[in-house]
Structure 1
Amino acid sequence: MTTFFLARHGETEWHAEHRYAGSSDIGLTRHGLGQAAALGAWAVDARLDVIVASPLTRAQRSAAPSVETTGLPLRTDARLVEIDFGVAEGLTPAEIDDRHPEEWAAFSQAPASSPFTGGESGRAGIARALPVFDELAREFPDGRVLIVGHATLIRLLFCELAGMDPDGYRDLLPVLGNCSVTTIVYPWATESMAAHPNRPRIRLLGFDVPPDRASRV
């Protein structure tokens, strides 16, 4: 089984106004760069085997200090890019509701199943990103993997792997801190999985923990 450390990127230029960044390539703020540095300090003693990031700038910049402190090369994987929010990209929730009220209402009710026009459903994002975990688990059995990605995709994947309905991710997991660390062991299989296929496929060791308090187990 492989230990995965999942980290959201640092604060972006759209963060303060809560604008949906999605697949838009938005840079980090100065504060976001500081958050990335804190993640890099955590990585020093995390005994990582590999660091993988979304190709978007905010994820790569957030992973850069960890690459520097560990000496590991940075891998990027396009399958880890954030969900594309289509016509909602760059808008605040209030602006989306004003310009696309029916789509906002549908998204609010079932966010993993109701993509915005021109965008991608959360369930499609799960389908493209989950194989990354399977491939890394095969490559690094009993290894330690840092993935630097995005809040929506991480929460969707967490729900899927924990045996929960991804449409509930916004209610169950309303916030994921910038450069916080979520630690899971995957795949987590027990003898009861065959009889109970909806049981969690992960063991959770820590969720949304600031890097200065995150475990390096």
Structure 2
Amino acid sequence: MTTLYLARHGETYDNERQIMQGQTPGELNDNGICQAEELSLQLADAPFDAVVASDLWRSVQTARIVAQPHALEVVTTPLLRERDWGSFTGRFIPDLKDIKPWPDDIESLEAMKARAGRFLDFIRTTYPNQTVLAVGHGIINKAIQAVFFHKEMHEIEKMKNAEVRVLDISL
């Protein structure tokens, strides 16, 4: 059985300021570091065989903190990157609410779900019958769950910072 512990990174300075981070590196703020430390304590007894993270710094930071009690190195992959928000990146999120239509440079839900499917395949083939912690981002984690559960993105509940959900992704 391949078990995936899917986590979201801890809070960042841009989360706190409501800035659209997209595929920028990001950095955990003090609260985010505390959230990652609490997640590390919560998962200290989980039988992880591997820890995988998005290659964006905020996820790597979180994964390293959580991986520490397990003495595991963090493997990174761009498959776990957050949605590419194109020209929305770096903007104040409340200012984006009423913009229609969205610019063409934003990664489509279809493209993101395809990437999420490739991520699930990557975990299944690279870590068969293992328990893996994967630290990603809010929207790509939603896409991963939407693909896994065969649901639409809006049907998946938003993950809070440093929240974890467990999926049995065996073939």
Identity %: 29
* Residue identity in the other structure for 1:136: I
Normalised to the residue count of structure 1, the TM-score between the two structures is: 0.73
Q: Which has the higher helix share?
A: 2
- In structure 2, the residue matched to 1:132 is 119
Q: Deviations over 1:8-39 (max 9, x none)?
A: 00001111232221112211101101111112
Equivalent-residue separation in structure 2 for 1:36 and 1:182 (angstroms): 15
For 1:95, what is the secondary structure of its paired residue? helix
Alignment of 1:97-112 (within 5 A): 97=97, 101-104=99-102
- Following superposition, which runs of at least 4 residues in structure 1 exceed 4 angstroms of deviation? none
- In structure 2, the residue matched to 1:27 is 27
Asked whether the equivalents of residues 117 and 147 of structure 2 are also in contact (C-alpha less than 8 Å), the reply is no
Equivalent-residue separation in structure 1 for 2:150 and 2:79 (angstroms): 21
Tell me, which stretches of 5 or more residues in structure 1 are unaligned? 105-115, 189-217
Equivalent-residue separation in structure 2 for 1:126 and 1:24 (angstroms): 20
Q: Deviations over 1:99-119 (max 9, x none)?
A: xx2225xxxxxxxxxxx4322
> Bigger relative contact order, structure 1 or 2, given CA contacts below 8 A and separation 6+?
2
Normalised to the residue count of structure 2, the TM-score between the two structures is: 0.91
- In structure 2, the residue matched to 1:74 is 74
Asked whether the equivalents of residues 81 and 137 of structure 2 are also in contact (C-alpha less than 8 Å), the reply is yes
Equivalent-residue separation in structure 2 for 1:34 and 1:134 (angstroms): 32
Higher Cα Rg, which structure = 1
For 2:100, what is the secondary structure of its paired residue? helix
* Match 1:164 to one of 142, 151, 155: 151
Q: Post-superposition shift, 1:67?
A: 2.2
* Match 1:154 to one of 141, 147, 166: 141
Confirm whether residue 185 of structure 1 aligns to residue 168 of structure 2: yes
Asked whether the equivalents of residues 22 and 85 of structure 1 are also in contact (C-alpha less than 8 Å), the reply is yes
Equivalent-residue separation in structure 2 for 1:94 and 1:136 (angstroms): 35
For 1:103, what is the secondary structure of its paired residue? coil
Asked whether the equivalents of residues 43 and 70 of structure 1 are also in contact (C-alpha less than 8 Å), the reply is no
Q: Aligned pairs, how many?
A: 171
Q: Post-superposition shift, 1:141?
A: 2.6
* Residue identity in the other structure for 1:90: G
Asked whether the equivalents of residues 116 and 143 of structure 2 are also in contact (C-alpha less than 8 Å), the reply is no
- In structure 2, the residue matched to 1:209 is none
Q: Deviations over 1:104-141 (max 9, x none)?
A: 5xxxxxxxxxxx43221122122123222223223333
* Match 1:118 to one of 97, 105, 110: 105
Q: Post-superposition shift, 1:161?
A: 1.4
Asked whether the equivalents of residues 122 and 153 of structure 1 are also in contact (C-alpha less than 8 Å), the reply is no
CA RMSD of aligned residues (A): 1.8
Q: Post-superposition shift, 1:68?
A: 1.5
Q: Deviations over 1:133-180 (max 9, x none)?
A: 2232233332101000000010112112111123x25xx42x311111
Tell me, which stretches of 5 or more residues in structure 2 are unaligned? none
Q: Post-superposition shift, 1:97?
A: 4.0
